[in-house]
Amino acid sequence: MNQLSKAPGAASAETATRSARTEASPETLPPSSKAELALQISEARFRKLLQNIPLVAVQGYGEDGTTHYWNQASEELYGYSADEALGHSLLDTIIPAEMQDGVRQAMREMFATGVPIPAGELSLRRKDGSRVSVFSSHAYVKVPGRPAELFCVDVDLTDRKQAEAKLQLAANVFSHAREGITITDVQGNIVDVNDAFTRITGYNRDEALGQNPRMMKSGQQDASFYADMWRTLQQQGYWSGELWNRHKNGGLYAALMTISAMRDANNTVQQYVGLFSDITAAKTHQSQLEHMAHFDSLTNLPNRLLLADRLQQAMAQAQRRQQHLAVVYIDLDGFKAINDAHGHTVGDQLLNALAQSMKDSLREGDTLARIGGDEFVAVLVDLDSVANSLPLLTRLLEAAAMPVHLNEALLQSSASLGVTFYPQEKEVEADQLLRQADQAMYQAKTAGKNRYQIFDTTQDNLIRTHHKSLERIGQALAQNELVLYYQPKVNMRTGRVVGVEALIRWQHPQQGLLAPAEFLPVIEEHPLAVAVGEWVINQALTQLQEWHAVGLDIPVSVNVGARQLQQDDFFERLQVLLAAHPQVRPACLELEVLETSALQDIAQVSQLIESCASIGVTFSLDDFGTGYSSLTYLKRLRVRQLKIDQSFVRDMRDNPDDTAILQGVIGLAAAFNREVIAEGVETVAHGTLLLAMGCELAQGYGIARPMPASALPGWCADWQRAPLQFIQ
């Protein structure tokens, strides 16, 4: 593949040598032939040497640029095989277009003068079109009897160029980096620094060389810091972190530094390189931001965020030391009026003055924070007892009431303080302590201001229990845990079942069946009472519908609480419930209202009774005789029935006053043409006395206890077979 020139008159060295050897020995040749033979042998050796020499590309060209010689290294460098290159002009192979005119001119001059083209760096073209940098040397060869030739010796500069580029890049980085760079030997002595090092530290290169970086120690880090640094550097090969160093002028600066160990091929550390930047401005800015994030901009007191952190720490400390702490919520009295009268600038000045005064009244270790407007919170620590805080609270009140001279005006405010203590019987969080103190502060305001009020944890626990109970009852309603039991009402004279009263129960998953007295009082003044009341009416109407389907046609009375009764849309809501049960006649529903609740707004209740009567729903006045009714009230409340409270029935045999009340109520009912029914009938004797007084209707344990809806049809059937013994 690798051939010599095929030009006319030229023969290969191998052919010439072989011919010379076969035709004659050197001893028999004439002198001229001997010289020719020696030349051929020398040329063959030369060309064979050039053919096999590695990494050096050698080409031979004729005067017209035709390629006569192309060694193996040329193939590897330029990508052309010898067959592709030989016989072709170098202008068609490796010479780029922009160089061709210059190459032609240079070759003409060389062949004309015999002076070789000067050596130099060239960018030549490969077969694939890419460029390669070479150092090209040229030789003009003129052998007598043969045409002159140009030999080019090209050395690939790619690796050297890349190495030079890397070195130049490293030098540029070292020189132009904004970060300071320090190079030390294995003992830590400085062997080189860059310009940024001088700019950051103040030491020039001559002052730094041979010195140890410890010359810049600031004293801000202790010996253990540097010991950890070097231990990490030795174990991991690098260390990165922040530290404070000292400038040549004595000032301190913060540095973000990375130190790396530089190793040789044997993994032996040769140098250490430190790269650092001055982050003093960033640290200062960070400090400012942290201050802004944790301190009030007006008073420079801790803000709510920092207060939360300090309160948490104080609580943990109180637990460790088995001491108390006090959280004091402070609200200035009358500050708004001062602010409005004198302007915000004066108001801010007053806030500043009072904040400083209150802070000065506290001890070292206590915290005073401004949490907004004219509200502050103090955390008093290291209290051996609650009593230890009382002098501090008095001092806070005095400090808040300090007169302040501003703009020739003497301004004075005061403060209301709410106080709570930690620890408490039950575990509390920091937020809960603040809420407790806030609540106590409002109590101090209500009590007259310029005083402190200590939070009552016992009362708060009662309130919390109440809220939990409300939440649980609401859950019971949503999860269908409430049920209705029914207690029959009978005519003791005829034995007829005249109706039933729906009584609510709670089928508690853990506590079993609960009576209404155990949960209804909790919701009496809460909107949940209305929701439960509507549920009872709806459930009773649904039950009436089911009983009617099995042939049991019986009225049901439902208790309506005062809050439900006072709803403006009570009548409309009742109509909606009735419309949802079209099979139930409204006359089968009776609403029982307490006498006391009916008298709270007799005009409204009277109108409601009239509206309900217009659609067939009747009313019964429950617990009659326990209120302060008058004949006028009884006349205005057109209820169908009066229900005698069981407290009068229970003791009627032993208490003449109860008997007299019973006779009076029964007489009033007859006079106003109202039905009367007695509850609490427990014995035959009770029933007998009531019948004698003219009261025929009754309910009570002596007749039947409240029962589930499923048990009522069977009870009614049994009752018809064996009514009360006192029926006459």
* Residue 444 sits in the same domain as residue 488: no
Residue 558 lies in a domain: yes
| Residues facing 278 on adjacent strands | 255
What is the arithmetic mean of pLDDT over 620-641? 73
Residues 6 or more apart whose CB falls under 8 angstroms from that of 301 comprise: 295, 355, 359, 368, 369, 370, 376
Helix 684-693 to helix 656-671 angle (10° resolution) is 50
Cβ–Cβ < 8 Å for 590, 533: no
User: Total structural domains in the chain?
Assistant: 4
- Same domain for 607 and 490, yes or no, is yes
Q: Band the pLDDT of 105: cuts 50, 70, 90.
A: very high
Domain boundary, last residue among 394, 420, 455: 455
d(C-alpha 176, C-alpha 163), whole Å: 20
pLDDT value of position 97: 93
Structure tokens given for 588: 């089968």
**Looking at residues 119-124, what average pLDDT do you find?**
92
- Residue 303 and residue 231 share a domain: no
- Last residue of a domain, which of 231, 264, 284? 284
Nearest CA-CA partner of 373 in 336, 412, 426: 336
Per residue in 312-336, pLDDT (tens digit) is 999 999 999 999 999 999 999 989 8
Residue 370's Cβ-count burial label (10 Å; 0-12, 13-18, 19+) is buried
Sign of CA dihedral 561, 562, 566, 567: negative
- Please indicate, yes or no, whether residues 35 and 125 belong to a single structural domain of this protein: yes
- In this predicted structure, the answer to whether residue 726 has a pLDDT above a threshold of 60 is no
Rounded Cα gap, residues 272 and 262, in angstroms:
6
pLDDT digits (tens, 9 = 90+) for 168-216: 777 777 777 778 888 999 888 999 998 889 999 999 989 989 998 988 8
Domain membership of residue 374 (yes or no) is yes
Cβ atoms of residues 57 and 134 within 8 Å: yes
724 pLDDT exceeds 60?
no
Q: Residue 667: inside a domain, yes or no?
A: yes
Domain identity same for 361 and 341: yes
Per-residue pLDDT band for 27 (boundaries 50, 70, 90) equals low
**Do 601 and 515 lie in a common domain?**
yes
**Across all residues in the chain, what is the average pLDDT?**
86
Report yes or no: 444 and 417 within 8 Å, Cβ to Cβ: yes
Give dist(CA 19, CA 342) in Å, integer: 126
**Pair 571, 680 in one domain:** yes
CATH number, domain with residue 274: 3.30.450.20
**Between the ranges 34-43, 151-160, 177-186, 485-494, where is the mean pLDDT highest?**
485-494
Express each pLDDT in 257-282 by its tens digit: 999 998 888 888 889 999 998 888 88
Residue 79 makes CB contacts below 8 A (sequence gap 6+) with 126, 127, 128
User: Within a domain: residue 277?
Assistant: yes
pLDDT in tens, 478-536: 999 999 999 999 999 988 999 999 999 999 999 999 999 888 888 888 889 999 999 99
**Do residues 197 and 143 both lie within one domain?**
no
Largest CA distance in the chain: 178
pLDDT band for position 37 (50/70/90)? Answer: low
Question: Are residue 442 and residue 545 in the same domain, yes or no?
Answer: no
In a domain, 482, yes or no: yes
447 and 488 inside one domain: no
Compute how many other C-beta atoms are within 10 angstroms of the C-beta atom of residue 37: 20
Q: Do both 387 and 424 map to the same domain?
A: yes
Residue 4 lies in a domain: no
252, 284, 316: which is the final residue of a domain? 284
User: Mind listing the pLDDT tens digit for each residue in 663-712?
Assistant: 888 988 888 888 999 999 988 888 889 999 999 999 999 899 999 999 99
Confidence band of 713 (pLDDT split at 50, 70, 90)? very high
Looking at the structure, do residues 301 and 279 belong to the same domain, yes or no? no
Domain of 642, CATH number, reads 3.20.20.450
b/e 413-446 (16+ beta carbons within 10 angstroms → b): bbbbbbbbbbebeeebebebbbbbbbbbbebbbe
Distance CA 250, CA 253 (A): 10
Query: Could you identify the residue written with the tokens 């160089």?
Result: 99
CA-atom Rg of the chain in angstroms: 56
Amino acid at 653: R
pLDDT of residue 188: 86
Q: Chain centroid to CA 638: how far?
A: 62
Any domain includes 164:
no
pLDDT (tens digit per residue) in 47-103: 665 666 767 899 999 999 999 999 999 999 999 999 999 999 999 999 999 999 999
Look up the domain containing 200 and give its range: 177-284
Angle between helices 528-549 and 457-478 (to 10 degrees): 30
Is 465 among the domain residues? no
pLDDT of residue 16: 39
